[in-house]
Amino acid sequence: MIVGFFLFTFMVLAIVGYFLTGGIGAVGIAVLITVATTWGAYWKSDTIALRMSRAVEADATEYARYHNLVEGLCIASGLPKPRLYIIEDESPNAFATGRNPKHSAIAVTTGLFEKMDRLELEGVLAHELSHIKNYDILVNTLAVTMVGLLALVADLTFRFMWMSGHRRRGSSNGPDPTAILAIVGLVLLIVAPIIAKVMQYAIGRQRE
């Protein structure tokens, strides 16, 4: 699934780049962007997810129950203890992130602590540790990153179309690059959310 999505992202970038530059060099640029994005998602997925969620590291004293539960579960499952974070949010939620069990983290909202007792919290944490053990976090992070890249490309395509439309109007006897970019951008805006949902169902529901 990751390889297929990688190739699809590369294809989209190559097409958009070709129309933007009008040359085969866009293919090389597409390769570099796709590889760089995948590399960044692989190595920095946990950092990106935690910063976006405004998570802060859980103090071992203030959140002793949090640390004790995870330590016990890790001993039972043979996993290394992940880094533990807290998110100031009333909604009960938790997620795991990272590229592998040795470089992973779990974040839990304050709302989850307020609404769940010790046994329920242990169940949630065990669930998140299972995602870490099965490498679900890596696959999901890469998929979301690629979808985000496609959405960014679509947005830039429309912006380019808007800025260059007046300059190109009536200046060429051939196919209008602006119109082509508009079509490509529209397709991207439609396809990217669909792909995101497909990846979510294919990865999320099966893994859950």
HEC per residue, the chain: CHHHHHHHHHHHHHHHHHHHHCCCHHHHHHHHHHHHHHHHHHHHHHHHHHHHCCCEECCCCCCHHHHHHHHHHHHHHCCCCCEEEEECCCCCCEEEEEEECCEEEEEEEHHHHHHCCHHHHHHHHHHHHHHHHCCHHHHHHHHHHHHHHHHHHHHHHHHHHHHHHHHHCCCCCCCCHHHHHHHHHHHHHHHHHHHHHHHHHHHHHHHC
The CA-CA-CA angle for residues 204, 205, 208, to 5°, reads: 80
69, 120 in Cβ contact below 8 A? no
Strand partners, 84: 106
Alpha-carbon span 164 to 190, nearest angstrom? 22
Structural tokens at position 66: 């949090």
The one catalytic residue among 88, 120, 128, 208:
128
- 128 among known catalytic residues: yes
Residues carrying an active site annotation: 128
